[in-house]
């Protein structure tokens, strides 16, 4: 009983040639077996570890009794996007990290069970939503990432008239343009968006708030505004050669592949055909980029300036990446990108790094300039983090020096205008963005009760 039921995955040799989902989910038998390991603690630590406080033991109990309806209802009380969070949440540092079972063996596979319930609910059209009468109030939501989607979901159920404005041609934010198909099938995001539409949420794509339509116009037209524009602006290193042809942001690679479908045969969106690519960084974004490139047949490496132990990406993604043949070059950092006369990348000058003291809870690193070497490659991808999408609001809202919108528990400097998700925290997680959207919605609902 100390070992968890492991989820089946697509064969590693097969999956590097496709973009289909890697993890295949639990069967009913597997789910019930795994659910039976739950000790149903009186004082469940897992729930405390969940940013939205899902009553985890209760829904697991329902799975044991094969009552998907009930399990789904329990999850939906706290989480708006369970089929997504079940797949992409960093459970090992949240619910599963707190699970008592984990002390003497494997924690319960809470994420996999959440995913199981949500997938069954989707397949069987189980819907637990009760919608109230229209209350005559309207809300504009800016950005259709998890923050915006969850805010919209809460409000529409309470009878608000909700319109989401999205700058891209497709709704979903990072869930659509960033996280790859093999980790989060787009069909799932689409179905979450569809179900919001069915509840009456209007989604206006192709509108960049701040330019196409101003915040003032939205304030005139709507009673409230919620801003969830995320932290999508990629950072580039300030080194020689950063403008070379062949240096990309991870966002560009992922957007071309996910949003524009560059991985599909006959796609109209090109992606640079490289032989050897180095993705610089060690987070989820770096893993997603490097694994995507591998699937395009490129010899794909991670270059990370700290060691494997400090890597911020989820453990499971790192393991999957290793299985797929990604090469990890740790304790190294680019100093210079070397180009030919046409500005094409031909390699990098790389410096060895050494781990040093712990600063603010994190190992710092220093360059060891005695060891600078050249490596050959024709693509370099920056996955160094992102900054907030707030430029278009700089004249309207109070921003901090990083460009994050300043909020007092989701309320911005303008009355009636709320914000949440990565735009107020910097790049964080899907579940935190979802929670912020929900919290803002609660505030708006309370004002109207």
Ligand X SMILES: Cc1cc2nc3c(=O)[nH]c(=O)nc-3n(C[C@H](O)[C@H](O)[C@H](O)COP(=O)(O)OP(=O)(O)OC[C@H]3O[C@@H](n4cnc5c(N)ncnc54)[C@H](O)[C@@H]3O)c2cc1C
- Specify whether the CB–CB gap between 147 and 51 falls below 8 A: no
Tell me the two tokens of residue 350. Answer: 């790389």
Span interacting with ligand X, options 105-113, 145-153, 239-247, 296-304, rule CB under 6 A: 145-153
Subset of 400-429 contacting ligand X (CB under 6 A)? 421-423, 427-429
Q: Tell me if 82 contacts ligand X by CB under 6 A.
A: no
- Specify whether the CB–CB gap between 272 and 374 falls below 8 A: no
**Tokens 């973009």 found at:** 19
Tell me the two tokens of residue 172. Answer: 């979903």
Binding-site partner at residue 245 among other proteins, ligand X, none, CB < 5 to 8 Å by type: other proteins
Span interacting with other proteins, options 20-28, 98-106, 232-240, 351-359, rule CB under 8 A: 232-240
User: Whole-angstrom Cα distance, residue 281 to residue 317?
Assistant: 14
How far is CA 252 from its chain centroid? 16
* Nearer to other proteins (CB atom), residue 26 or residue 248: 248
Nearest C-alpha neighbor of 276 from the set 286, 264, 290, 263: 290
* Nearer to ligand X (CB atom), residue 296 or residue 365: 296
Q: Tell me if 260 contacts ligand X by CB under 6 A.
A: no
User: Whole-angstrom Cα distance, residue 66 to residue 30?
Assistant: 12
- Specify whether the CB–CB gap between 227 and 405 falls below 8 A: yes
| Contact map string, positions 425 to 444, toward other proteins, x by CB under 8 A | --------------------
Q: Tell me if 49 contacts ligand X by CB under 6 A.
A: no
> Which of the 8 DSSP states describes residue 204?
E
* Nearer to other proteins (CB atom), residue 18 or residue 267: 267
Span interacting with ligand X, options 18-26, 32-40, 166-174, 411-419, rule CB under 6 A: 166-174
Alpha carbon separation from 369 to 304, 351, 409 (Å, rounded):
17, 6, 46
- Of 68, 89, 117, 293, the residue at the interface with ligand X (CB under 6 A) is 89
Tally of CB atoms within 10 A around 408: 7
- Of 26, 165, 222, 263, the residue at the interface with ligand X (CB under 6 A) is 165
Q: Tell me if 273 contacts other proteins by CB under 8 A.
A: yes
Closest distance of CB 243 from other proteins, Å: 5
* Nearer to other proteins (CB atom), residue 236 or residue 374: 236
- Specify whether the CB–CB gap between 332 and 351 falls below 8 A: yes
Interacting residue ranges for ligand X, rule: CB under 6 A: 88-89, 142-148, 165-168, 173-174, 178-179, 208-210, 228-230, 232, 254, 284-285, 288, 389, 392, 421-423, 427-431, 433
């Amino acid at each position: 009983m100390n070992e968890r039921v492991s989820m089946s995955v697509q064969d590693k040799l097969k999956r590097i040639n496709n973009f289909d989902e890697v993890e295949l989910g639990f069967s009913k038998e597997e789910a019930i077996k795994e659910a039976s390991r739950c000790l149903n603690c009186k004082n469940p630590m897992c729930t405390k570890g969940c940013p939205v406080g899902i009553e985890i033991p209760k829904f697991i109990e329902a799975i044991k009794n094969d009552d998907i309806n009930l399990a789904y209802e329990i999850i939906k009380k706290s989480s708006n996007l369970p089929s997504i969070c079940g797949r992409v949440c960093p459970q090992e540092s949240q619910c599963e990290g707190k699970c008592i079972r984990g002390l003497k063996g494997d924690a319960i596979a809470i994420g996999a069970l959440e995913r199981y319930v949500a997938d069954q609910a989707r397949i069987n059209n189980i819907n637990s939503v009760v919608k109230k009468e229209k209350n005559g109030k309207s809300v504009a939501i800016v950005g259709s990432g998890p923050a915006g989607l969850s805010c919209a979901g809460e409000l529409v159920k309470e009878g608000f008239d909700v319109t989401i404005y999205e700058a891209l041609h497709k709704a979903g934010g990072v869930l659509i343009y960033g996280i790859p198909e093999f980790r989060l099938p787009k069909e799932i995001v689409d179905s979450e968006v569809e179900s919001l539409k069915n509840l009456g949420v209007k989604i206006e794509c192709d509108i960049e708030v701040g330019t196409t339509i101003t915040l003032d116009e939205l304030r005139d037209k709507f009673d409230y505004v919620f801003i969830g524009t995320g932290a999508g602006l990629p950072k580039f290193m300030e080194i020689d050669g950063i403008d070379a042809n062949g240096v990309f942001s991870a966002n560009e690679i992922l957007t071309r592949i996910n949003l524009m479908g560059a991985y599909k045969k006959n796609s109209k969106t090109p992606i640079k055909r490289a032989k050897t690519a180095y993705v610089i960084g060690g987070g989820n974004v770096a893993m997603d980029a490097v694994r995507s490139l591998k699937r395009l047949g490129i010899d794909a490496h991670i270059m990370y300036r700290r060691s494997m132990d400090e890597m911020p990406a989820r453990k499971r993604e790192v393991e999957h990446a290793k299985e797929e043949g990604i090469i990890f070059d740790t304790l190294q950092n680019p100093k210079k990108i070397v180009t030919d006369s046409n500005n094409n990348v031909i390699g990098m000058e790389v410096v060895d790094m050494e781990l040093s003291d712990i600063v603010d809870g994190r190992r710092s690193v220093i360059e060891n300039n005695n060891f600078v070497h050249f490596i050959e490659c024709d693509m370099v991808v920056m996955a160094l983090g992102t900054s907030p999408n707030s430029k278009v609001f700089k004249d309207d809202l109070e921003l901090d020096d990083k460009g994050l919108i300043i909020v007092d528990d989701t309320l911005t400097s303008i009355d009636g205008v709320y914000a949440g998700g990565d735009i107020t925290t910097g790049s964080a997680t899907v579940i935190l963005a979802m929670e912020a959207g929900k919290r803002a919605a609660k505030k708006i609902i309370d004002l109207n009760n």
